[in-house]
Structures are given as structure tokens and as C-alpha cells.
Amino acid sequence: MTKLALGILGSGKGSNCRAILEQIRDGKLPAEARLVLSDVFDAGILDIAREFNVPNAYLPPGNFRTRLEPAVEAELVRLLQQAGVELVVLAGFMRVLKEPMLAAFPRRIINIHPSLLPKFPGIEAWKQALAAGEKITGCSVHYVDAGIDSGEVIGQRKVPVLGDDTPESLHARIQIAERELYPEVIAQFAAA
């Protein structure tokens, strides 16, 4: 069976990346991580990639805080295409992708977000949910488009908000749900 070729982009610790790579290693996810890239030099996701023997690289983002320099984004496209990536998986990648990436991988870039979109897009969605008095929140996997967390939702997992939740406790439970949901959605792409 052909394995789905993944490119994983992340800016942080890489807990979702680890969950995906563990599922691949354990034979539960018919995919292959071809490349892990980060815009943060010492990001934990790069250490995880090395631990799982996945090719990885740091891509200096340039001068913008929320997106990549155009030349850097063009290099990102080149690296992913050179690795034969079929599906780009954002795992805590904190930059908005623009036209070079969106054009190169139409409906082949997905992201996980810690809320039940369309509610609470943007950063620290679990804090937004708590502040709004939500009784249920969760996580969503969605297609990436030119907006912020605005692409079509592919899958969601609900997480109850408990009466004694702190931002930290709620976020921890949402992250558990993310690590279950993301490999499931990737498996749907692999089966398509």
C-alpha cells in the first residue's frame, strides 16, 4: 500500500507531531513523514523529528512576525515539493501561509486549532472559550486558506469545560483530544 507523504510544519514543542509520528511508527497511520520544518531554530519539534529519524530543517522566517518572507515561503514550497510531500500538516505552526504555499498545495494543507471553529479563531482559543463561559469547547482540523483559522472544517472533537478549569487544565485536555483527532483526519487523507 502506498503511504501518504507528509510534510509537517511547527513552531513549538511538537506534541501533535510526536502523536503523528508515533502512529506511523506503530503501523496505525499509513503515512510517511518526509520532512519536518520549523521557523524557530531551537523548536522542540525539530528534536522530535531527529528522534524519529525524519529529515528536518530550520527555515529562517525573515522580518515578519506573523508570516514568512515571500522568498522564504518560495523556499518552503521548493523543499516540500523536492521531498515529494502530498499533504502539509501544520502542527503548531504560528505563521499565516500565503499564495505560494496555497497555490502549490491546494486543499492539501491542514491545521489543527484548539477550539470548535468557527468559534474562537486565533491565539489562545482555550482562554477565549473560558472567558466566554462556554460549557463545551474542543479542537478542529481544517483546511488552510488565506485567512486565520477560517478554512473549511474537516473534523472536530468536543471537550467539556469543567467548573474548576483553569486555562492550563482546559488546554491540557484539548491537547489530548488534538493528539487523537489529528492522526484520524490524516488517515482519512491516506485512505482517499
Reduce the DSSP state of residue 114 to 3 states and report it: coil
Contact 55, 75 (CB under 8 A): no
Catalytic site residue from 18, 34, 108, 113: 113
| 113 in active site | yes
With beta carbons less than 8 A apart as the criterion, state whether 39 and 11 touch: yes
* Burial of 65: CB neighbours in 10 Å, binned 0-12, 13-18, 19+: exposed
Contact yes or no for 143/110 (Cβ under 8 A) = yes
- Indicate the SS3 state at residue 142: strand
Q: Indicate the DSSP class of residue 84.
A: T
Q: Assign residue 165 a region: left if phi > 0, alpha if psi is -120 to 50, beta otherwise?
A: beta
Catalytic sites, residue numbers? 113
